[in-house]
A and B are shown apart, each in its own frame.
Chain A
Amino acid sequence: MDKYRRIGISRVLGLLGISAKLDLVWLLRDTRYAIAGIIADVIANLSIVSSVFFIAVRFGGIGSMNSDEVLFMMAYSTMTTGIFMLFGAGNNIHISRIIGRGQLEHLFIQPLPLGTQLATSGFMPFTSGSNFVIGIALLVVAVARLGVEVSLPWILSLLLYQLVTMVTIVARAYLVSSMAFYSPVGAEEISHYAINGTWLLSTFPLSGMPAAIQYSLVTILPEGLMAWFPALCLLGRPPLGLGEYYPMLYAVILSIIAGIIFRKGMKHYVTKGSNRYVPYGFRR
């Protein structure tokens, strides 16, 4: 039997392309409902970030952050949400649903590494890209108001921090999702709760909060690393004296732990099997 081929860039682009095509045809086929969904997403996310921004405007800033810096942080957060929705629309990030519903077997029969399948199967740029676009628009406004000098290294830093934030989100989702290998019914929705349940906390500027809360939210829980910490790093003021590389270190350590625990759970799954197959929600 032939050896399987390496998964190159063109193959990944092809897989992203077919996911994007499925998204586009859905948008064009059910346009009214798709647009309604997009608008609802945008309103929901703008409500979260604008409420924080309005508080900052009303009180002349939050902690040591002025209202424009808060706007910058909100823009960063909206972009993160946007990327999450761009690539994670098919339960591929909320993986506890796929594990808990006994649906990993649909992935096992594809001639692709699981990582490639999971990284490409939830790509929905047309119906889930709106928050990313709005995040960029907010970022442009915030950067202009703050007078940040936008250079190539700064843009690369922004992209790197966004990548690190996404790695942290995915690692946390996969870490908590591993519980679904052992308790498929109880932990089916755990990834959703772990991420969405603390989303409001992720968009709150921690500046001015007691140090114990700040440290807790960049160590025990990563909420402070979702927008607050990287936004201040990008503005040249890394908080807590942890240094601007701290989010990368956290993401790497969390990824390693999540990788080990998820692999252990996967071994459990293929050894014990899943006796709970649910036919719905496997595709998206």
Chain B
Amino acid sequence: MCPTDFAVSLRGVTKHFLQWQRDNTGKGLVRNLLRPEKRSIMALDDVSFSIEKGEFVAYAGPNGAGKSTTMKLLSGMLLPTLGEISVLGVSPKKNRRALMNHMGVLFGNRTELWWDHPLIQSLEWKKVVWDIPEDVYRKNLETVTELLELKELLKTFARELSLGQRMRADLAMLLLHSPELILLDEPTLGLDVVAKRQMIDFLKRINRDNGVTIVVTSHDMDDLEEMAQRVLMISKGKIAYDGGFNGLRDITGNLTRVTVTMEDESMPELLHARLLSSQNRAHEFEIDLEGTSVKELMRHLSNLDGISDVEIKKAPIEEIIARLYREWR
């Protein structure tokens, strides 16, 4: 497959920044005037990956790992120090204008809405600036208004929308020109459970029904696991993992959570298990299934006396990630 067949393709991309360093001592201030101290930051280090059209990919990593830098490189806001980037078959550097007719970018902490105008005014502005044909605009407006439940908000000033409403409105605006690829940087940032739910359902739907390629970053790994089929993990500017979420669990060992509730105050003893918590006779263990099989575990549990309930579940992805982040530090 050549780069033009992919929605996104990065080959050997390196992005390097210089960061000014200053201290507050008198000597430091003078030295800064004469010879400013600069520190080299490697935001991306020889990164290569591809995303096929129609994929829903989570792009995750700890703070400062290079997620936002990657998003900006993909949308032509930044240029790489080295390497090649192809988005929808073209270079974002050389074809920014053409690319922006086919892709959409949304940063969770920014808005493209006109702050002192009703939402519908921003949508009309987008129609003119993107030169969206009337029929396409009407159809997309109808769709996003319905799916994102915006009908009641069209006449509301952007400045008066809640954060969740504003994110939905920004997402609606993003989709008016029928983008084939959308890049979302922290779209669920600060949203409550209901707003997050709406956002996730909507993104899954447009990916499934319209084949829109979606790349999303978030710190909420549970959200990402629910949305995306594939996760790209970045650490210290390098791709540390590329695959499914279950594969991530395999990296840190096949960890499983077992909660055993006893009829009395006794403490059950499980092999290859680590006690995490005990509360109201319920004892939660972490078990590495690399050391013992489910069959063995079940046999062992069935031989224990005084058990009133057993619950077995996968380790939360958040903890898997936290463990990985700690290892990467």
Q: Which residues on A are within 8 Å of B, measured CB to CB?
A: 1-5, 11, 14-15, 17-18, 21-22, 25-26, 105-106, 108-113, 270-273, 277, 279, 283
Q: Are A1 and B99 also in contact (CB < 8 A) when A108-B76, A270-B77, A273-B72 are?
A: yes
**Cα distance, A39 to B255, chains bound together (Å):** 71
Q: B94-108: which have CB < 8 Å to A?
A: 95-102, 104-105
A26–B118 Cα distance when bound, in Å, is: 10
Interface residues of B (CB under 8 A from A): 17-18, 69, 72, 75-79, 81, 88-90, 95-102, 104-105, 109-112, 114-117, 121, 124-125, 128-131
- Among A1, A17, A21, A272, the residue within 8 A (CB) of B98 is A1
Residues of A near B17 (CB, < 8 A) are 272-273
B98 touches A18 (CB 8 A): no
Contact flag A15-B115 (CB < 8 Å), given A108-B96, A111-B100: no
Provide the residues of chain B in CB contact with A21, threshold 8 Å.
124
Which of B69, B98, B117 is within 8 Å of A2, CB to CB? B98
The interface residues of chain A lying within 8 Å CB-to-CB of B121 are 22, 25
CB distance from A127 to the nearest CB of B (A): 12
Chain A residues whose CB sits within 8 angstroms of the CB of B109 once the complex forms: 277, 279
In the complex, are the beta carbons of A111 and B101 less than 8 A apart?
yes
In the assembled complex, which residues on chain B have CB atoms less than 8 Å from the CB atom of A26? 116-117
Given A1-B90, A18-B129, A272-B18, does the pair A110, B98 have CB atoms closer than 8 Å?
no
Enumerate chain B residues within 8 angstroms of A106, measured Cβ to Cβ. Answer: 110, 112
A4-B98, A106-B112 are known; give 5 further A-B pairs, CB within 8 A.
A26-B117, A111-B131, A270-B79, A273-B78, A279-B109
* Residue in contact with A283 in the complex, picked from B75, B90, B101, B116, CB distance below 8 Å: B116
Q: Which of B18, B75, B115, B130 contacts A108 (CB 8 A)?
A: B75
- Interchain nearest-CB distance for B313 vs A (Å): 40
Is there an interface contact between B97 and A283, defined as CB atoms closer than 8 Å?
A: no
Residue of A nearest to B104 (CB): A109
**Complex Cα spacing A17 to B117, Å:** 16
Most buried by A among B89, B97, B102, B128: B97
Q: B97–A113 contact, CB under 8 A?
A: yes
Residues of A within 8 A of B101 (CB): 2, 4, 111
The answer to whether B128 touches A3, judged by C-beta atoms less than 8 angstroms apart, is no
When the two chains form their complex, are residues B110 and A108 in contact, meaning their CB atoms are under 8 A apart?
A: no
26 contacts between A and B (CB under 8 A): A1-B98, A1-B99, A1-B102, A5-B131, A14-B131, A17-B128, A18-B125, A18-B129, A21-B124, A22-B117, A22-B125, A26-B116, A108-B77, A109-B112, A110-B100, A110-B130, A111-B97, A111-B98, A111-B100, A111-B130, A270-B76, A271-B79, A273-B78, A277-B109, A279-B109, A279-B111
Residues of chain B within 8 A (CB-CB) of A11 are 131
Chain B contacts for A283, CB-based, 8 A: 114-116
B158 to chain A: closest CB distance in Å? 9
A192 to B249, CA, bound (A): 56
Residues on B with beta carbons closer than 8 Å to the beta carbon of A110: 100, 129-130
Q: Shortest beta-carbon distance, B238 to chain A, in Å? A: 19
Q: B117 to A25, Cβ gap below 8 A?
A: yes
- Contacting B128 at CB < 8 Å: which of A1, A18, A108, A272? A18
CA distance A29 to B301 in the complex (A): 71
- Most A CB within 10 A of own CB, among B88, B100, B104: B100
A25 proximity list for chain B (CB < 8 A): 117, 121
Instruction: Give the docked Cα–Cα distance between A112 and B101 (Å).
Output: 9
Residue of A whose beta carbon sits closest to that of B4? A1
Of B18, B75, B104, B131, most A-chain CB atoms within 10 Å: B131
Instruction: Report the minimum CB–CB distance from A113 to chain B (whole Å).
Output: 7
A3–B131 touching, CB < 8 Å: no
Asked if residues B124 and A18 are in contact (CB atoms below 8 Å), the reply is yes
Q: In whole angstroms, what is the CA distance A273 to B73 when docked? A: 10
Q: What are the 4 closest A-B residue pairs judged by CB atoms, nearest first?
A: A111-B100, A18-B128, A4-B97, A4-B98
How long is the Cα–Cα vector from A279 to B163 in the complex, in angstroms?
14
C-alpha spacing A283/B105, complex, angstroms? 18
| B-chain residues with CB within 8 Å of residue A22 when the two chains form the complex | 114, 117, 121, 125
Give the chain A neighbours of B81 by CB distance below 8 A: 271
The CA-CA distance from A5 to B111 in the complex, in Å, is: 27
Which of A2, A5, A105, A113 has a CB less than 8 Å from the CB of B77? A105
**Are B95 and A112 touching (Cβ within 8 A)?**
no
**Beta-carbon contact of A109 and B78 below 8 Å:** no
Give A184 to B114 CA distance when docked, in angstroms: 24
CB distance from A199 to the nearest CB of B (A): 27
Which residue of chain A has the shortest Cβ distance to B128 in the bound complex? A18
Cα(A216)–Cα(B201), bound, Å = 65
B75 contact set on A, CB distance < 8 A: 108-109
Known interface pairs A18-B125, A26-B116, A283-B116. Does A277 touch B110 (Cβ–Cβ under 8 Å)? yes
Nearest B residue to A117 via CB reads B129
Known interface pairs A1-B90, A22-B117, A106-B112; A112-B129 also in contact (CB < 8 Å)? yes
Q: Which residue of B lies closest to A2 (CB)?
A: B98
- Beta-carbon contact of B129 and A15 below 8 Å: yes
